Amino acid sequence: MIERRPLGGTGESLSVIGFGGILVTDETASEAARLVGKAVDLSVNYFDVAPTYGNAEAMLGPALEPHRKNVFLACKTTERSKDGASKGLRESLGRLKTDHVDLYQMHGLSNLDEVDEAFGKSGALEAFVEAKKTGLARFLGFSAHTEEAALAAIDRFPFDTVLFPLNIYAWHLGVFGRRLVPRAAERGMGILALKALAKRDWRKDEKRAWSKTWYAPVDTYEEAELGIRFTLSLPVTAAVTPGHEQFFDWAVQAAGEFTPLSEAEAASRARTAAGPSPMAPASPIFRAPS
């Protein structure tokens, strides 16, 4: 049984490992059902998906339908206008075969211009507030790939959650995430983690062994355990895994064997893995602005 942690002030508790919907992208219906059933059997109750993940919503919806009342379903939108976000949510609900999502998130805020657009007149935020008011979404959140955008979003609206890259190499070598985590915790937000199993960027002309990640993920269980230990040692609720079953399995196993990782040990192991060479095994895929 996977540990569950409270999700900020929502009153919900989620499994510390989340099922990333991209796991079922381009899978058969029977394979999608198998993957979802396996996750539920492992007591995973947090499922995250987005319309930008290929056909993930269409595959996840039927597979999740028998389990829907017992899981927490999070969806996202990259639309920044009210009309676009509202339409996108209705379309996602249709593909997901449900009448509501538990969490609706602005997806991938990356700069202040996007934040201004989404929070301005006729922006996506208006659709989000309306969705919660009408019961199409129980909670509201956002994901971001820059601290600048994340901090601005937190300051402009009382979101329930933030979904953000929290990775051992980005944190210790890229100084990335260190401003976001305490700010979100102070606001009582649920903190959800991305990219816990990222290892480095793909190198130029490198053969990509994994088709569903835009970065090079960990290569071994030992590396996966380190990544999960680091991320779950922060004040986060859960970490969403990359898009292949092997990484989901590793993350679940690591969560079952979890012991907290000290700041000093995490920093030391990150520096050792990065090494002095440009071809070092690990490096941060995100960095804070210098």
Whether 82 shows a pLDDT value over 80: the answer reads yes
Mean pLDDT of 202-211: 88
Bridge partners of residue 15, in order along the sequence: 4
The percent of residues in the chain predicted with pLDDT above 90, rounded, is: 92
Q: Read off the amino acid at residue 107.
A: H
Residue type, 287: R
CATH number of the 4-274 domain: 3.20.20.100
| Rounded average pLDDT over 92-109 | 98
Task: Name, in order, each residue with C-beta under 8 angstroms of 274's C-beta and a sequence gap of 6 or more.
Answer: 169, 173, 280, 281, 282, 283
Residue 65: what residue type? E
Amino acid at 276: P
Query: How far is Cα 228 from Cα 274, in angstroms, rounded to an integer?
Result: 17
pLDDT at 278: 67
pLDDT in tens, 149-175: 999 999 999 999 999 999 999 999 999
Q: Residue holding tokens 């804070």?
A: 288
Name the band, by pLDDT with cuts 50, 70 and 90, for residue 12.
very high
Nearest to residue 233, comparing CAs of 257, 256, 259? 259
Question: Which pLDDT band holds residue 251 (cuts at 50, 70, 90)?
Answer: very high
Has residue 177 got a pLDDT over 90?
yes
- What is the rounded distance in angstroms from the CA atom of residue 144 to the CA atom of residue 224? 23
pLDDT over 70 for what percent of the chain?
99
3-state SS class at 47:
strand
Task: Please determine, for residue 65, whether its predicted confidence score (pLDDT) is greater than 70.
Answer: yes
Instruction: Describe the crossing of helices 82-96 and 124-134 by its angle, rounded to 10 degrees.
Output: 50
Confidence of residue 275 (pLDDT cuts 50, 70, 90): confident
Average pLDDT of the residues of the chain = 96
Q: What phi and psi, each to the nearest 5 degrees, are found at residue 278? A: -60, -20
- The stretch 112-118 carries a mean pLDDT of 97
Q: pLDDT value at position 276?
A: 73
Cβ-proximal residues to 263 (8 Å cutoff; 6+ apart), any chain: none
Q: How far apart are CA 79 and CA 179, in angstroms?
A: 26
pTM: 0.96
- Return the SS3 of 104: strand
